[in-house]
Chains A and B, each alone.
Chain A
Amino acid sequence: SQTIHQWPATLVQPVGSPLSLECTVEGTSNPNLYWYRQAAGRGLQLLFYSVGIGQISSEVPQNLSASRPQDRQFILSSKKLLLSDSGFYLCAWSVGLYVSTEAFFGQGTRLTVV
């Protein structure tokens, strides 16, 4: 069966520090991968998505970046965090490009930039 792992669960980082959040998927190959950010009580803002290794699409210009070094690994990074980067970050995966399936979510990372 497929599982998704996202870590860490919580993170408190000072302004200007770097960030690396990792997400890995097991039990499937060539998944679509997604990074979302959620402000309190709001919907999910799509940050990045990837349909294959090395293929990253960015939705929101900002100081974040994403990479997909392996088929089932998706990393969200920043060189210097801003206060506005605080939020709840969710990683998700779905099956293939032309297949209609639900998206499966990791448990999320609550990031507080102080």
Chain B
Amino acid sequence: EDKVVQSPLSLVVHEGDTVTLNCSYEVTNFRSLLWYKQEKKAPTFLFMLTSSGIEKKSGRLSSILDKKELFSILNITATQTGDSAVYLCAVYSSNTGKLIFGQGTTLQVKP
């Protein structure tokens, strides 16, 4: 059965802290892994990862994929209150078109 598991489910940190969010997966015909940030309504896209070991970076956020161990991490450095959100990981299966999400990690950044 295809599945995506995120950890931790929730996290509370203070501004300036660094956080690491985890995503492990089991899916047939893996094609890509996606990270999203969701604040109020629709998730907003952060990264798409298809190859192992290649870090994607955008400002204070970065992510990397390990296709051998079947997981990805999302790092946020120097957190700000605006980083408070639900972070979602999703995996796409190319032969079926299925896109499945994990449970999400709720991050709260306190001033």
Determine the interface band of chain A, counting residues with CB < 8 A from chain B.
Answer: 20 to 34
Contact string, B75-95, partner A, CB cutoff 8 A, digits 1/0? 000000000001010101011
Distance from A77 Cβ to chain B, minimum over Cβ atoms (Å)? 21
Picked from B42, B98, B104, the residue with its CB within 8 Å of the CB of A46 is B98
Question: A12-20, A21-29, A93-101: which lies at the B interface?
Answer: A93-101
How many of chain B's residues have a CB under 8 angstroms from any CB in A? 26
In the complex, identify which listed stretch (A34-42, A68-76, A78-86) lies at the interface while the others stay far away: A34-42
Is A41 a contact of B106 with CB atoms below 8 Å? yes
Q: With A and B bound together, what is the CA distance between A105 and B43 in angstroms?
A: 7
List B61-111 residues whose CB lies under 8 Å from chain A: 86, 88, 90, 92, 94-104, 106
Which chain B residue has the least Cβ–Cβ distance from A97? B97
A82 CB → nearest B CB, Å: 22
- Tell me, rounded to whole Å, the shortest Cβ–Cβ distance linking A73 to chain B: 17
Chain A residues within an 8 Å CB radius of B96? 51, 57
